[in-house]
Amino acid sequence: MPIIEIEGLRFTYSGSKRPALDGIDLSIEKGEFVILTGPSGCGKTTLCRCLNGLIPHFYHGDFQGRVIVAGLDTREHEIWELAQHVGLVFQNPENQLFCLTVEADVAFGPENLGLPREEIRRRVDWALRATGMWELRLRAPHELSGGQQQRAAIAGVLAMEPDVLILDEPTSFLDPAGAADIIALVAKLCRGHGITVILAEHRLELVAPYADRMIVMEKGRIALNGSPEEVLTSERAVELGIGIPKVVRLHGLLASSGLRLPRTPLSPREMAELLTEVAGSWR
């Protein structure tokens, strides 16, 4: 059974004339790593908010269709209940950290669930270690770099032991090396702990090598949905104006010159290896 099932989802924010989501049907399996992309204003953030119940419980509007996450219909379950299954990490980590220490921030969610002390301890320790924040657990969030803050925010969500981790452009405020670290961490949580990941992101060269699936949205609808290779090489992706990674563009140029590779590379290393395979050897 899929971990996320969306049927006929339409949502229009109160006071808005145009629907932010205009007919979404989508099913995501447990353990998948899914990239969500598309031009600004395409509905990515709104979709993320629908997955953890912020819509319709916090943001109001006209909601049609169904969103089922870990077997729970989001309309019938409160945000705190859904938070035990779905964690949402936002763009700006500063907006998510408010305690005096990282550890207290990470403990905040499990404490609110009223769990026994030992269980809280166990979860907090696990989340701090899984995100590489153990050494920094007694630091104040405002003393940390942006990348460390974002790790702390992820740890806070992980301490709820969610099935699904949703990240809405989590690297926008980080420098490139900090961004690459966060993406590698998210991939580890997906592959190593079986957490389903839905990652909204513009910089596809950074995330494509890790993903099982790439979904491109446009005007509140799903325009493309497939493997990164399928999506990035489709003509529609170019029309939609998403940033095609340079290796994929290079692969396309080589193909039009008659050089076919066995598959579409998603990283420079992979491209070099495929070319070497085709050449036999470079002597």
Partner 1 sequence: MAIELEDVWFSYPNGVEALRGISLTIREGEFVIIMGPNGAGKTTLVKTFNGLIRPTRGRVLVDGVDTKEATVAELSRNVGLVFQNPDHQLFCETVEEEIAFALKNFGFEEDEIRRRVDWALKTFGLEEYRDVSPLVLSGGEKKRVALASVLVWEPKYLVLDEPTLGQDYAQKERLKELVRGLMGDRAVVMVTHDVEFVADMRPRPRLILLSGGRLIADGRAEDILTDPECIDRARLVRPQVPEVLRALRSLGAPVRTDVLDVEEARDIILSILGAGTG
Closest CB to partner 1 among residues 121, 278: 278
Q: What does the alpha-carbon distance between residue 136 and residue 169 come to, in Å, rounded to a whole number? A: 24
Shortest Cβ distance from residue 251 to partner 1 (Å)?
10
Q: What does the alpha-carbon distance between residue 283 and residue 271 come to, in Å, rounded to a whole number? A: 18
Query: For the purposes of burial, counting CB atoms within 10 Å of the CB of 113, is it exposed (0-12), middle (13-18) or buried (19 or more)?
Result: middle
Shortest Cβ distance from residue 176 to partner 1 (Å)?
4
Beta bridge mates, 10: 22, 64
DSSP state of 121: H
Closest CB to partner 1 among residues 1, 279: 279
Shortest Cβ distance from residue 175 to partner 1 (Å)?
4
Site for partner 1 in 28-47 (CB under 8 A): 38-41
Closest CB to partner 1 among residues 39, 226: 39
Stretch 114-153: interaction string toward partner 1, x if CB under 8 A: -------------------------------xx-------
Q: Degrees (nearest 5) of the Cα angle 149, 88, 165?
A: 100
Is 269 one of the binding residues for partner 1 (CB under 8 A)? yes
Most distant CA atoms of the chain, gap in Å? 67
Stretch 53-92: interaction string toward partner 1, x if CB under 8 A: --------------------------------------x-
Is 162 one of the binding residues for partner 1 (CB under 8 A)? no
| Three-state secondary-structure class, residue 252 | helix
Helix intervals (H) in the chain = 44-51, 54-57, 79-82, 102-112, 117-130, 146-158, 176-193, 204-207, 228-232, 235-240, 246-256, 268-279
Is 259 one of the binding residues for partner 1 (CB under 8 A)? yes
Q: Which residue from 100, 138, 184, 272 is in contact with partner 1, where contact means CB under 8 A?
A: 272
Is 205 one of the binding residues for partner 1 (CB under 8 A)? yes
Is residue 133 a contact partner of residue 151, using CB atoms and an 8 Å limit? yes
Q: What does the alpha-carbon distance between residue 194 and residue 183 come to, in Å, rounded to a whole number? A: 16
- Where on the chain is the footprint of partner 1 (CB under 8 A)? 38-41, 91, 145-146, 169, 172-180, 202, 205-206, 241-243, 245-247, 249-250, 253-254, 257, 259, 267-269, 271-273, 275-276, 278-283
